[in-house]
């Protein structure tokens, strides 16, 4: 059975297009209506498992969502940034605008570095190889997965592998907990996390207008690697939530949204001075 053509249901992180809330709602609604899952073929579903995570990164809205509360109640507040904070924010936003280019030597080397960090004792056969599926990419060519969130999502994964190797490998190889028959694909889930953080922190605006984003810029002023560290924390939170609710692959969106809601709460704490002060930071060392 042929798999359905992959649908792009969210704008690239590198596009920085401003879309109003009504347009966002229409896009999310259209995405939900168009994505169809055949339940009568386990083989077909398994082949589309990775595509589910890269295609669908919907913001779930409802009475229990904190997202609207933060964005609406703080949109019009005037939060000035120090020149140092503004400089670091601009550098982070510049990173977000870089698409992954499989023809750039530096991007190729970063991809190879990620492989060697994940599988140091296994020789990589090539940038296009069936081996990549072992890391949780959709197919043999990882470059096709970066359309969702550009080069920064690869940088995030490599930072995670190098800075918190024990945590990285524990999640990559699913070493703890009662796991589902079909686990979330590690690498593609990582791309979704990069996109979720970019959206949650309102980094595609000139300056963040939501409370978590405003507070994050303060943390960025203390540590330029704050976004990368937050990514690692979020990955651990996703896995912890996955295990806590005994999730299956069809529940990944719910797990991602629960992670986002908890991160928004932690980033709204007034006494957080550094990224390492977030309560969930300790997950990296469990």
**pLDDT by residue (tens digit) across 251-278?**
999 999 999 999 999 999 878 899 999 9
94, part of any domain: yes
**Is 35 a domain residue?**
no
39 in a structural domain: no
What DSSP letter does each residue of 176-208 carry, written as one string?
SS---SSPPPHHHHHHHHHHHHHHHTTTTSSS-
Q: Is residue 230 part of a domain?
A: yes
pLDDT at 235: 98
Asked if the model's pLDDT at residue 179 lies above 90, the reply is no
d(CA 114, CA 119): 9
pLDDT value for 57? 35
Percentage above 70 pLDDT, the chain: 72
The average confidence (pLDDT) of the chain is 78
The verdict on residue 40 lying in a domain is no
Residue 38 confidence (pLDDT) above 80: no
At 48-66, the pLDDT tens digits run 444 444 433 333 323 233 3
Better pLDDT: 40 or 132: 132
Task: With a cut of 90, say whether residue 25 has pLDDT above it.
Answer: no
DSSP class of 2:
P
C-alpha distances in Å from residue 243, one per residue of 2, 3, 65, 96, 260: 32, 29, 21, 30, 16
Report the distance separating Cα 61 and Cα 68, nearest Å. Answer: 8
Q: How confident is the model at residue 79 (pLDDT cuts 50, 70, 90)?
A: low
Q: And the tokens for 8? A: 């792009």
Range(s) of the domain holding residue 91 = 83-118+133-285
Cα–Cα distance, 26 to 17 (Å, whole number) = 16
Q: How many domains does one find in the chain?
A: 1
pTM of the model: 0.75
* Mean pLDDT on 66-82: 47
166 belongs to a structural domain: yes
Q: Give the DSSP H/E element, type plus range, for residue 69.
A: helix 67-74
pLDDT at residue 248, rounded to an integer: 85
Report yes or no on 18 lying in a domain: no
pLDDT of residue 13: 37
The more confidently predicted of residues 150 and 26 is: 150
pLDDT surpassing 90 at residue 95: yes
Domain for residue 149, yes or no? yes
């Amino acid at each position: 059975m042929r798999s359905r053509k992959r649908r792009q249901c969210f704008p690239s992180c590198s596009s920085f297009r401003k879309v109003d809330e009504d347009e966002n709602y229409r896009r999310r609604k259209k995405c939900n209506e168009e994505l169809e899952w055949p339940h009568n073929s386990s083989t077909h579903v398994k082949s589309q498992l990775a595509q589910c995570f890269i295609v669908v990164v919907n913001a779930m809205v409802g009475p229990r969502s904190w997202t609207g509360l933060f964005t609406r109640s703080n949109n019009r507040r005037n939060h000035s940034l120090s020149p140092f904070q503004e400089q670091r924010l601009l550098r982070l936003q510049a990173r977000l605008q870089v698409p992954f280019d499989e023809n750039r030597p530096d991007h190729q080397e970063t991809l190879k570095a990620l492989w060697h960090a994940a599988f140091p004792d296994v020789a990589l056969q090539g940038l296009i190889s069936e081996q990549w599926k072992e890391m949780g990419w959709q197919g043999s060519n990882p470059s096709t997965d970066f359309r969702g969130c550009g080069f920064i999502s690869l940088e995030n994964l490599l930072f995670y592998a190098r800075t918190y190797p024990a945590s990285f490998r524990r999640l990559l190889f699913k070493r703890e907990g009662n796991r589902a028959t079909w686990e979330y694909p590690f690498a593609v889930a990582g791309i979704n996390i990069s996109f979720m953080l970019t959206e949650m922190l309102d980094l595609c605006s000139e300056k963040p207008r939501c409370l978590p984003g405003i507070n994050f810029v303060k943390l960025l002023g203390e540590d330029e690697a704050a976004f990368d560290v937050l990514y690692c924390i979020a990955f651990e939170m996703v896995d912890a939530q996955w295990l806590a609710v005994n999730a299956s692959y069809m529940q990944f969106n719910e797990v991602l949204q629960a992670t986002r809601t908890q991160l928004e709460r932690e980033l709204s704490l007034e006494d957080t001075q550094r990224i390492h002060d977030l309560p969930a930071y300790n997950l990296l060392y469990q």
